[in-house]
Amino acid sequence: MEKLLHTNIKTISRLLFDGTIKPTELTNLALKKAEDIKHLNSFISITSNQAKTQGEKSEKRFTDRKPISELDGVTIAVKDNFCTQNIKTTCASKMLENFVPTYNATVCQRLFDAGAVLIGKTNLDEFAMGSATTDSIYGPTKNIWRYKSENFFLSGGSSGGSAVAVASGVCFAAIGSDTGGSTRNPASYCGVVGLKPTYGLVSRWGLIPLVNSMDVPGILARTVDDVVSVLNVIAGFDNKDSTSLTKPYNKIRLPPATKMSIKGLKIGIPIEYNSEHVSEEVLDTWNEIAALLQSHGAVIKKVSMPHTEYSIVCYSILNQCEVASNMARYDGIEYGFRANEELSTEKLYAASRKLGFNDVVKNRILCGNYFLLTRNYDKYFTQALKIRRLIANDFHNVWNDVSLLLTPTTLSEAPSYKSYIENYDPYKNAFEDFCTQCANMAGVPAVSIPIKLSKNVLPLSLQLMGRNLSEPMLLAVAKYIENLVKFPHFQYEL
């Protein structure tokens, strides 16, 4: 039975429909599996009661032969920075440790309306600041690949919990958030597909903000088709999000990979992404896949995106400025952690913030406020906005020559936790997002696709990026690649 958790959404939906498995049975299998992998620390809370109720309701619909959608009865997980009604939403922080929202984020509401079953809320770096899922008050999430080795490997982040929930089979899909790579980075390290949609295509309402101008809900799943099934449910205009795109969303239908052709498709290799920090194995994988696509008729072209080298610094400044203003709401007065002291209002603010945030968050608040000082504003913030525009223009220009870009997702396979802690370097950490954050600054869609296992038996992945709203083509080519490489899911030791 457990093997059913290893299938895909189309298959499980059919098996639910023909009665091979009941939604309550599938829910129980997933809940048991979530318990079995508890040591990986991918869930902050397992929502058994909610799951059981949703499973029973789904079962009733299947008995009546009236499932609502392809996601009816399908097990999912949601990163713990999306609001869920009556379910604790912590952002892995002391500040929101006991925060119980009164409403669902639009993404969650749409998934529930489609009949999906929530197994739990997943671990992340505090307030989604990070790329490792090591900075959570609940401790790090372990990668499922080689977790038995003496030093476990990073799951990536900040949506590491969602990536492990999917890689383990607990869920068919999970929601992450992506501000600079937080869906794609853990997808890459854990060997699953990770989509960052076009900015504005999926509503941010109820996603606790990190950087409003870059945040997007992301999707993690084991297959591209499963990503599409979820995207088709969550995408589309939402009047609760002022940056939501008003253009009607047309559901994506991908043909079987064997019926697709990439003959004549122009794929760009941006030379600036060939950084000295990219590992040899990632570089080889990049070259191999480019050659493979060429042998299938694609036209592979080297292209230049000259402002890439400024992107990390520019991203960091803009990120910290928006963080400084977003985090101002946590003052210990309205909601969130309050320092338990009889203090003046001002002292209460200070004490609550001092105790409620970790050092990463505090550091970003301080830097952001420094950049936003009147005397620094033009030097940092205005300048960074200008560079952001140049980076977006690099993308804009490159679409004159090619339809898609192929790059690494992460610079290497997942590092071990031990080496990460021993060599901890905030600058190096920021550099982890080198290949991913440009897409957020430009707003374009990007997808990470698992390709193969490294010599160390860890996943290696690549990224495709496309122009705004090119998801149908982007995901079609991702599916084509997925079919060529046949990534060995579940081939880890448990």
3-state secondary structure of 145: coil
Residue 394 sits in the site that holds ligand GLN (CB under 6 A): no
- Residues with Cβ within 8 Å of 94's Cβ and at least 6 positions away in sequence, in order, are 137, 337, 355, 356, 357, 358
Could you tell me the strand order of the sheet in which 216-221 lies?
43-46, 117-122, 75-79, 173-178, 216-221, 193-196, 446-453, 459-466, 404-408, 266-270, 299-303
Site for ligand GLN in 291-350 (CB under 6 A): 319
E strand or H helix at 227:
helix 224-234
Residue 181 sits in the site that holds ligand GLN (CB under 6 A): yes
Closer to ligand GLN by Cβ: residue 54 or 182: 182
- Which of the stretches 147-155, 178-186, 304-312, 351-359 binds ligand GLN when contact is defined by CB under 6 A? 178-186
Which position among 42, 93, 182, 352 bears the catalytic label? Answer: 182
Residue 55 sits in the site that holds ligand GLN (CB under 6 A): no
User: Which residue of 182, 285, 311, 448 would you call a contact of ligand GLN, by CB under 6 A?
Assistant: 182
Closer to ligand GLN by Cβ: residue 24 or 122: 122
Q: CB of 222: closest distance to ligand GLN in angstroms?
A: 21
Q: Known catalytic residue: 177? A: no
- Yes or no: say if 189 and 417 are a contact pair by the CB < 8 Å rule: no
3-state secondary structure of 58: helix
Place of tokens 């989604």: 128
Residue 130 sits in the site that holds ligand GLN (CB under 6 A): yes
Q: Which amino acid is at 358?
A: N
Q: CB of 25: closest distance to ligand GLN in angstroms?
A: 35
User: Which residue of 155, 177, 410, 463 would you call a contact of ligand GLN, by CB under 6 A?
Assistant: 177
3-state secondary structure of 60: helix
Which position among 22, 33, 79, 196 bears the catalytic label? Answer: 79
- Yes or no: say if 310 and 391 are a contact pair by the CB < 8 Å rule: yes
Alpha carbons 350 and 331: distance in angstroms, whole number: 8
Q: Which amino acid is at 399?
A: W
User: Which residue of 30, 95, 129, 252 would you call a contact of ligand GLN, by CB under 6 A?
Assistant: 129
- Which of the stretches 25-33, 56-64, 171-179, 467-475 binds ligand GLN when contact is defined by CB under 6 A? 171-179
Closer to ligand GLN by Cβ: residue 319 or 416: 319
Place of tokens 């902050």: 44
Which position among 42, 158, 168, 403 bears the catalytic label? Answer: 158
Q: CB of 396: closest distance to ligand GLN in angstroms?
A: 22
- Which of the stretches 146-154, 180-188, 349-357, 443-451 binds ligand GLN when contact is defined by CB under 6 A? 180-188
Q: CB of 223: closest distance to ligand GLN in angstroms?
A: 23
Closer to ligand GLN by Cβ: residue 93 or 182: 182
Residue 180 sits in the site that holds ligand GLN (CB under 6 A): yes
Residue 156 sits in the site that holds ligand GLN (CB under 6 A): no
Would you state the structure tokens that stand for residue 149, as one six-digit string? 């080795």
DSSP state of 208: P
Q: CB of 413: closest distance to ligand GLN in angstroms?
A: 17
Closer to ligand GLN by Cβ: residue 93 or 131: 131
Alpha carbons 113 and 295: distance in angstroms, whole number: 44
Output the 3-class SS for 246-315. CCCCCCCCCCCHHHCCCCCCEEEEEHHHCCCCCCHHHHHHHHHHHHHHHHCCCEEEEECCCCHHHHHHHH
- Which of the stretches 56-64, 176-184, 351-359, 484-492 binds ligand GLN when contact is defined by CB under 6 A? 176-184
Alpha carbons 212 and 251: distance in angstroms, whole number: 26
Q: Assess whether the previous peptide bond of 416 is cis (omega < 30° from 0).
A: no
Place of tokens 């079987």: 256
Closer to ligand GLN by Cβ: residue 70 or 322: 322
List residues bridging with 194 in a β-sheet: 220, 448
Q: Known catalytic residue: 79? A: yes
- Yes or no: say if 234 and 107 are a contact pair by the CB < 8 Å rule: yes
Residue 433 sits in the site that holds ligand GLN (CB under 6 A): yes
Residue 368 sits in the site that holds ligand GLN (CB under 6 A): no
# binding residues, ligand GLN (CB under 6 A): 14
Residue 412 sits in the site that holds ligand GLN (CB under 6 A): no
- Yes or no: say if 469 and 201 are a contact pair by the CB < 8 Å rule: yes
- Which of the stretches 8-16, 45-53, 122-130, 485-493 binds ligand GLN when contact is defined by CB under 6 A? 122-130
Q: Known catalytic residue: 142? A: no
- Which of the stretches 127-135, 164-172, 250-258, 413-421 binds ligand GLN when contact is defined by CB under 6 A? 127-135
Catalytic sites, residue numbers: 79, 158, 182
Q: Which residues sit at the interface with ligand GLN, rule CB under 6 A?
A: 128-131, 158, 177-182, 210, 319, 433
